Amino acid sequence: MNLREAIVHGKATGDFSACVAQIAYLQFMGISMEVVAGELLGHMAYSERIVGNARADALHGGTLGALMEATAVFTVLAQEAPVIKVPKTIGITVDYLRSAGRRDTWARALFTRQGRRVASVRILCWQQDRDKPVAAANAHFLLSPMS
């Protein structure tokens, strides 16, 4: 299955694991996409290599940004509109809200605006308690429908 086929498969089934498996960086980071109770969630497994401050037991802020960007990309791909090319990130603004500890991290993306050329996405990122997010982000993506 090439990347395009994996994207088509993911759109049809909601299961993007074949797609994630082809992206070296997501493997390196321990990032996967999981459907939990009908929601597409990004999941980043804890590993030593994502730590930013070993003394404070805090994850590196950049890894939270990466998880949120990846979750947003797959949320854009999963939508019903015919987006089958990986959307290009125009920009992302990350707010760091709480220290993220040495444990698994989750993210969920929601569209704030879906246009034909640009999608605006809001992303939340949490660890044990979804009501206490560790980070939030806004991202814009350039879409290439049907191309």
The residues that touch other proteins, with contacts defined as CB under 8 A, are 3, 22-29, 48-56, 58-63, 65-67, 69-70, 86, 88-96, 99
> Under the phi-then-psi rule, with left for phi > 0, alpha for psi from -120 to 50, and beta for the rest, what region is 77?
alpha
Closest to other proteins by CB, 1 or 35: 1
Task: Judge contact between 70 and 31, C-beta under 8 A.
Answer: yes
The least distance separating other proteins from the CB of residue 37, rounded to whole angstroms, comes to: 26
Choose among 109, 106, 107, 105: nearest CA to 79: 109
Closest to other proteins by CB, 18 or 78: 18
The least distance separating other proteins from the CB of residue 63, rounded to whole angstroms, comes to: 6
Closest to other proteins by CB, 28 or 35: 28
Phi, psi (deg, nearest 5) at residue 19: -70, -50
